[in-house]
Every structure is written in C-alpha cells, then in structure tokens.
A and B are shown apart, each in its own frame.
Chain A
Amino acid sequence: MSTPILEVRELVKEYPATLAVAGVSFSVPEGVCFGLLGPNGAGKTTTIEIMEGILPPTAGEVCYRGEPLGNRFRQEAGILFQKTALQDFLTVRQCIALFRGLYTAGLEVDEVMRLCALEKLAGRDARKLSGGQQQRLLLAIALVNDPAVLFLDEPTTGLDPQARRNFWELVQSIKARRKTIILTTHYMEEAELLCDEIVIMDRGRLIAQGPPRRLLHEHFAEVLLELPRQEFPPAARALPLSIIDASDRVEISTHDLEATLRTLLEAKVPLSNLRIRPANLEDLFLELTGTELRP
C-alpha cells in the first residue's frame, strides 16, 4: 500500500436542517483511482467538495500529503465539477489558456489539447461544443496544472454511450500516468471499470470501503441467478435460498450453482427465462444501500 495522498478525518458537514456528512474517515493511496459512490443525497458531493477545498467542513479535516489543504494543494489539484460554466465568447484554446494562466506550473496548452483530443476544436466557441466535447474540455482544464490528484465529480453524467466510453479511455490514459483520481459516479459499470478502490456512502456515513473485487467477494457468493418476478411462485420463497427482490426480478445468490438449480427444479420453478451471471458492483450497491428511491 502506497502512502496516502489524501486523508479524510472525522469529516462532518452540518446544514441548518441536514446532517450531510456524519463523521467520515478514509484515506486515498497515491496513484489509484478512488471511487466515491452512493445514492442521491448520500453526502458524496459534499464530501468531495470538502476534499477539493471549496467547502469548509463543520468538523474534521482533510490533509493533502500530511498537511491541511493549502496553496500547495490548490497548485497540485485538478478538478472537474458536476456542472461547470465557462466564460462566454472564448474558444476552446482560450478557455484552457485562461486556466493555465492561473497556475505557476503545468502542461503546455497544446499538450493538454492533444491529451484530450481537442486539437481540431481549438478555435471553436466553447459554448458550441457537444456534451462529450464539453466534458473533454473540462477535463483538459482540470489537467492544465499537471495535477497530482484529479477530482472527477460525475464526469459522464448525461453523455451518450460513445462519449462515455471515449471519456473512460481518457481517464485510463491519465491513470496510466500514475495520477491519483477521485471519482464519483452513479454508473457502477464506470466505477467497476476505472476504480482500484471504492468507498460507498449512504445518509452521510461510510458503509463500505475497499477494492471492488474484495467487496464483492465479501458480500456475495460466486454467482447470481435471475428469474422474472412473475414466474417465481410465492411458495418458492420458503426455499432455503438467499433470495433478493429486485424491481422486476428475483435474484438468488449462491456459491453452489448445481444444488440451487436442483432445489428450484424440485420446487417446479420455471427456469426457461433463467439468467446466470456473476455479481457486480451494482448488486453490491443495491445490497448495501437498498432499492428505496431517494428524495
């Protein structure tokens, strides 16, 4: 395990009627992609904004390389917010140049544009970019100072599948440069693909932390069997199986596939629409945070 680049200690954020973060502690090793997951209102955006140094905590602290967040952190951190408006009437190149001018060290504007595949868009009005192009520009802005730690707050929300995959490739190329990435996302597929380590938050608290594979192993047996809910007889619910209700289906978690199939056949459960798959991060997320819709 490498030295933590960021340490979050007993973080609390309280608003007049809400406790957004209720004493969260974790550390982020250097050079990993660290996922911060949770349903809406879990406190992950508040947590990440405190980690970014733009929101003061009510209690607790965040340390960067062992020191409280300060000028060094601002010089060495790159941030891509959930929503960011840029200055009007600037081209892609000028937007990047504006932010490059705010840092003492970093990459050349041309190099950042090349990294984010923006060369052909250099002279275009930044307001006229597509969603995917805009996210690449915001990523480029987050990279102008060649950051040691990069915050990506729901970077692919609203992007089409092609743009999302393109963005993932960019993030993987940044990972390959041994940068530390803090990622929040609602897409479990994205977290599974990109993150080396995750924390899951719910109602302001941290409910799980570790590498995705290990967490899956801890919470699930080897495979999941999925059956349409309407084909699952009520009597079968009494079977000695680990049954999970999802919205339109029933999931059965098991480490002994053959024994489970035998049990289902003996109970005359129709298996024509049976699907067998390994558990994924979305299963873990729903298992830990429930299926109830959050406000």
Chain B
Amino acid sequence: MIRRLLSVLHARNLEFVRDRGTLVFTLLLPVTLVIGMGFVFGGPQRPLFKVGVLAGQEDRQAHPFLRERYVAFITLADDGAALRKVTHQQVDLLLDLRAPERYWVNTDSPKGYIVEKLLLAAEPAAVREPVTGAAVRYVDWLFPGILGMNMMFSCLFGVGYVVLRYRKSGFLKRLHATPLTAFEFLSAQVLSRLGLILLVTAILYAGIGAVIGFHNAGNLLLLALVGVVGALSMIALGLTIAARFSSEELVGGLLNVLTWPMMLLSGIWFSLEGSPPWVQWVAHVFPLTHVLDAARAVMLDGAGLPQIAPNLLYLAATALAFLAFGAWSFRWRIE
C-alpha cells in the first residue's frame, strides 16, 4: 500500500513542479501578498492614545482625565474582553470608573507608560493594576486570516480541479484498472497538496511576518500542527466535491459556494464577536473558522495544546469524515 501511495505521490509532485504556469502562480501569489501587505501596512502609524473605559455615561462626565486631548476614550462593556485589550495593547490603558476606581496598564507598553502619567496627573489616587503582554495590531490579528485564506483556496481549488481533470482525461479510469484503491489515490493527492500548502504557508508566514514585524506568542510547532490538521480538513473537503462530479462548472460553483461563506464568516477580515449567536454557530461549522480561532489563540495569546484541543479535534474529525466520504463516493470515470 505504501509503495503504491508513494508512487502516485512522487508522480503527482513531478507533475506539479513541471507545470510551470501553476508553479509560477503558486510562488508568485505569496510574493505578491508579501509586497502588498508591506505596502498597505508598512507606513507610519498615527500617534493616538486609546483608553478603554468601564463606566456608565453619568460617571464619564465628572472625571477630569476624560477631558484630556489627543486621547480616544472607548466605552467597553465586557470586563474580560476589556482586560484582554490591555494585555494585547489594543488599548493603552483601561480605566474603571466604578467604585473602587482603578486602572489597568500594560507595563510592556510605551504608550501605556505615557498615558498613565496623564491619568495620575489628573487623578493621583487611582489604583494601579499592572498587566503585561505584547501589542496586537490589526495587521497582527489579520495575519492568521491571510494565511488561512490562502490555505483555503489552495486546498479546495488545487485538489478539486486536479481530480476533475484526471477524471475527464481518462487517467483515473486507467488507474482504476490497477490494484490502486480510491483511498490510496486520494491519500496521495492529500499528502501532495499538504506538502505544497505547508511550504507556501511557511513562505508566507516568514515573508509577511518579517514585513510586518510579527512575533508569535505561542509554540511554532503547535502552529504547524494547526496548519497540518486544518489543511487536511480543507483538502478533504475539496475532495468530497471533486469525488464524483465531472463538470468544471458544477465543481467550480460548489467550491465557490463553500469558499464565499468562509471568506465572510470565518473571521478572516473581522471578528465575529458581538454577532448573533446563530451566525457564530454557522461560522463554526466551517473548518476555516477553527483554523483561525486556533491559529490566533496560538499566535496572539500564546495558547497551548489544551486551549486549542477542541479546534484540533474538530478539524481532525472533519478531515477523516470528509476523506471517508470522498473515498466512498469516489468515481473513477465519467458516468
């Protein structure tokens, strides 16, 4: 079985490497993304302090610090989320005007240091609650989304169309006349695409990470595990679509039906926090949502295996389910 699998895997890799157009496109895309991200996010940031405020509207009017210039005051409702924003330096300081009055400042934040001076000048009796944590800019938050999106397109379209082409050309029919099983064939396709995706994602991670100055808060191997399991799940999903159909239009349409909801709901561009519960439930049906949740938890919060285990389990289960369904419904030839 391994020999047959390796034989197909080797041939598929040769085919990919020698398909110059696809190879250039695959390598050009990450480079273009790196350049684009550098252009969009590489410019200077506006000097602005942001202070989160936990308080009712009536408390705000009375406090002298809230009259400071060049400081944006953002009312926050959830204590836990507000504290995470300080930890990630998404706000420079968090002020709780409810009694007893206190504030949280990130001791790793230079802007937090300065805005603290402003606060203490206005209210010397405020109680200090120090926290630590590296800054999370939008670009840092977006970074896993870009990686995940690229992975999703490569997984779904890369595998789906290759299998479709093999079926239409009659190559699958020829393979069917050999001892090769559908599971072996599909596994070889999955492994070939997985290797490519990991390589491209690593290039993107290193390239974009260098351009935007990203620092991973978590374990890189754990992040790689998220990438592997996530890619497996999405490749297997692509195979379920390509498993039996022979029309490019149909397969293309079905793949679009899958990718667009993931583009919008899986949290690539913006967080779904605060959206209706049913939207969040639907979003968590998609593998990409679990990939991004787990990747952000590792990359931004430094989460360990226990924290992302539910996401990994979901991805592993869907990968197996999709692959099993794909092998079961697989058609070697055009009906």
Contact = CB atoms under 8 A, between A and B. Distances in A.
A-B complex is real: yes
Interface of A: 52-54, 71, 74-75, 77, 79, 81, 83-90, 94, 97-104, 141
Contacts of B175: 102
Given A54-B177, A83-B170, A101 B3 contact: yes
B171 interface: yes
A90 B15 CA distance: 7
A85 B178 contact: no
A170 B59 CA distance: 96
A117 to B, nearest CB: 21
Contact of B11 (A85, A98, A141): A98
B15 A89 contact: yes
Contact of A90 (B4, B14, B177): B14
A105 to B, nearest CB: 11
Contacts of B176: 54
A83 B173 CA distance: 10
B177 A77 contact: yes
B158 to A, nearest CB: 15
Nearest to B179: A74
Contacts of A141: 174
B332 interface: yes
Interface in B155-180: 166, 169-171, 173-180
A53 B180 CA distance: 13
Contact of B174 (A74, A75, A81, A88): A81
B122 interface: no
A88 B8 CA distance: 13
Given A94-B11, A94-B14, A79 B170 contact: no
B274 to A, nearest CB: 49
Interface in B14-31: 14-15, 17-19
Chain A interface secondary structure, helix, strand, loop or mixed? loop
Contacts of B271: none
A54 B333 contact: yes
B6 interface: yes
A71 B179 contact: yes
Contacts of A83: 170
Given A54-B332, A54-B333, A88-B18, A98 B177 contact: no
B18 A87 contact: no
A101 B6 contact: yes
A101 B333 contact: no
B30 to A, nearest CB: 22
27 contacts: A52-B177, A54-B333, A71-B179, A77-B177, A79-B177, A83-B170, A84-B174, A85-B169, A86-B171, A87-B15, A88-B15, A88-B19, A89-B14, A90-B11, A90-B14, A94-B14, A97-B7, A98-B8, A98-B10, A98-B11, A101-B3, A101-B10, A102-B7, A102-B175, A103-B178, A103-B179, A141-B174
